[in-house]
Amino acid sequence: MNNVIEKLAEKIRGRVITAADPDYDNARRVYNAMHDRKPRAIVQCTDSADVMAVVAAARESGLELAIRGGGHSVPGFGTVDDGLVIDLSRMNNVQVDPIKKVAHVGGGATLGDVDHATYPFGLAAPGGIISTTGVGGLTLGGGLGYLTRSCGFTIDNLLSADVVLADGRQVTASDYQHEDLFWALRGGGGNFGVVTRFEFQLHDVGDVVGGPLFYEFDDAAAVLQGYRDYIANAPEPLGCFFGWQIAPELPFIPGDRVGDLFCVLVTCWNGSHDEIERVFRPLRDFAEVKAEMVDVMPFPALQSAFDGMVPEGMQHYWKADFVSELTDAAIEAHVRYGEMTPHISSSMHLHPINGAAQRVGADETAFGHRDKNFAPVVAGIWSDPADNKANIQWVKDYYDAIHPHSGSDGGYVNFMSSDDDYRAAANYGVNYERLSVVKASYDPDNIFHVNQNIAPANRV
């Protein structure tokens, strides 16, 4: 089997890193420190040819294959024990065409790489809320964040993708070529191949008005109710998610409140500055705002504002659903478990997925839950592995309490944990069967299975 690795090293321009290499421990590390896996080799690819060589090696040797974009997957899908890892982090180049307002983005870029390249042109691609997240995994699962209500999911802005397939060929998928593959890539996760280049439609986004508003925990039910009612019809340039937040030591937090649990609304207004008062007034009326950091800022500053709260190397365990109606009973359950938020980095985020995201039909892309209004995620994040048992239990108990109120079995594929594999069909929702057929034609042997896996139709 070592022969496989040696032959691979001869073929590629990037680096093949094995256990014999002093950089091995560094190269095998992924974002969620719970996953301490030992691949046979990590291949840091530099171009499509490298990727094609690794896919061929995996196919011929039978070694398992993991694809790593930004490495953020909570279930650790960017690595695998005793297999091959395609590490795309060196393929993070971003090229902007400001006239056409499109960006060509390498398969291993992060959201921060995209922001860095697009902001000087007054443009942005809709992404998420943390700049270190990989474009690859985020996009293929859907991609929700600050600009979802105004510009749709990240996939709604995908124009084409270059994909290395299981048979080793690279093809371009778009509305005009490999249309079925293009459909499946937009929500079907990393099931169909290795995306070496994404082409995104960009939007006019320069300086936004955004940041967090902090409210007393005791006002959480009122804030959640007000938020639920307002966000249903709020102007679409407003991105705004609810969360729990133990107050960190920051200049705008009164010193005697550091460490207290608050609820927050994190905002991003990408509309006219003349409307700020009208748009933000209702948020301030839900309850008294106790602290805030809402200001005009470059979009990249907002998308990286919370990076420091979730550095690499922490323990992660998450659970998620989609929700049509946020009922008062659900709010009661949120408040009950929100009060037990165990760590400054842990939270429940309630993301709105209405507005522009709902103007795309459920069968137009593989993202099947277009009728849902919210994507809640209970994100257990903490630093000490000694706390794993208690904090995983908090996430499970919280999820068990809110799930009966969700009105849906499915959740966002990108917010799942490693014990959520059984939910794959529900997560892909109405599109699962069609995805399974497309999977059978592009990856009949399920080479790309280290993901929220879609079984090829011929294997069901």
Confirm or reject binding of residue 78 to ligand FAD (CB under 6 A).
yes
Measured from the CB of residue 250, what is the shortest distance to ligand FAD in angstroms? 19
Nearer to ligand FAD, 84 or 289 (CB): 84
Among 5, 67, 265, 440, binds ligand FAD (CB under 6 A): 67
Measured from the CB of residue 145, what is the shortest distance to ligand FAD in angstroms? 4
The residues that bridge with 246 in the sheet, in sequence order, are: 261
Confirm or reject binding of residue 72 to ligand FAD (CB under 6 A).
yes
Nearer to ligand FAD, 129 or 289 (CB): 129
The CA distance from 21 to 27, in Å, is 10
Among 14, 39, 71, 211, binds ligand FAD (CB under 6 A): 71
Q: Which residue has the tokens 């065409």?
A: 97
Which residues, 204 to 243, sit near ligand FAD by CB under 6 A? none
Measured from the CB of residue 140, what is the shortest distance to ligand FAD in angstroms? 5
Confirm or reject binding of residue 194 to ligand FAD (CB under 6 A).
yes
Measured from the CB of residue 273, what is the shortest distance to ligand FAD in angstroms? 25
Confirm or reject binding of residue 73 to ligand FAD (CB under 6 A).
yes
Measured from the CB of residue 132, what is the shortest distance to ligand FAD in angstroms? 7
Which residues, 284 to 313, sit near ligand FAD by CB under 6 A? 310
Confirm or reject binding of residue 376 to ligand FAD (CB under 6 A).
no
Nearer to ligand FAD, 289 or 413 (CB): 413
Confirm or reject binding of residue 69 to ligand FAD (CB under 6 A).
yes
Confirm or reject binding of residue 190 to ligand FAD (CB under 6 A).
yes
Per-residue binding letters, 89-118, with ligand FAD (x by CB under 6 A) = ------------------x-----------
Measured from the CB of residue 74, what is the shortest distance to ligand FAD in angstroms? 6
Among 44, 157, 245, 451, binds ligand FAD (CB under 6 A): 451
Which residues, 127 to 146, sit near ligand FAD by CB under 6 A? 128-130, 133-134, 136-138, 140-141, 143-145
Cα–chain center distance at 148: 12
Nearer to ligand FAD, 2 or 177 (CB): 177
Q: Is 178 left (phi over 0), alpha (psi -120 to 50) or beta?
A: left
Measured from the CB of residue 375, what is the shortest distance to ligand FAD in angstroms? 8
Stretch that binds ligand FAD, among 38-46, 122-130, 285-293, 420-428 (CB under 6 A): 122-130
Longest dimension (CA), the chain: 67
Residue 47 token pair? 């171009």
Measured from the CB of residue 222, what is the shortest distance to ligand FAD in angstroms? 26
Please state, as a whole number, how many other Cβ atoms lie within 10 Å of the Cβ of residue 404.
10
Measured from the CB of residue 379, what is the shortest distance to ligand FAD in angstroms? 8
Q: Which of 106, 160, 172, 174 is nearest to 134 (CA)?
A: 106
Q: What b/e sequence results for 350-379 when a residue is b if at least 16 CB atoms lie within 10 Å of its CB, and e otherwise?
A: bbbbbbbbbebebeebbbbbbebbbbbbbb
Measured from the CB of residue 311, what is the shortest distance to ligand FAD in angstroms? 9
Nearer to ligand FAD, 109 or 263 (CB): 109
Confirm or reject binding of residue 357 to ligand FAD (CB under 6 A).
no
Assign 3-class secondary structure to the chain: CHHHHHHHHHHCCCEEECCCCCCHHHHHCCCECCCCCCCCEEEECCCHHHHHHHHHHHHHHCCCEEEECCCCCCCCCCCCCCCEEEECCCCCCEEEECCCCEEEEECCCEHHHHHHHHHHHCEECCCCCCCCCEHHHHHHHCCCCCCHHHHCCHHHHEEEEEEECCCCCEEEEECCCCHHHHHHHCCCHHHCCEEEEEEEECEECCEEEEEEEEEEHHHHHHHHHHHHHHHCCCCCCEEEEEEEEECCCCCCCCHHHCCCEEEEEEEEECCCHHHHHHHHHHHHHCCCEEEECCEEEEHHHHHCCCHHHCCCCEEEEEEECCECCCCHHHHHHHHHHHCCCCCCCCEEEEEECCHHHHHCCCCCCCCCCCCCCEEEEEEEEECCHHHHHHHHHHHHHHHHHHHHHCCCCCCCHHHCCHHHHHHHHHHHHHHHHHHHHHHHHHCCCCCCCCCCCCCCHHHC
Nearer to ligand FAD, 141 or 380 (CB): 141
Confirm or reject binding of residue 414 to ligand FAD (CB under 6 A).
yes
Nearer to ligand FAD, 280 or 412 (CB): 412
Measured from the CB of residue 453, what is the shortest distance to ligand FAD in angstroms? 9
Among 77, 217, 299, 442, binds ligand FAD (CB under 6 A): 77
User: Which chain residues interact with ligand FAD by CB under 6 A?
Assistant: 31, 67-74, 77-78, 88, 107, 128-130, 133-134, 136-138, 140-141, 143-145, 189-190, 194-195, 310, 414, 450-451
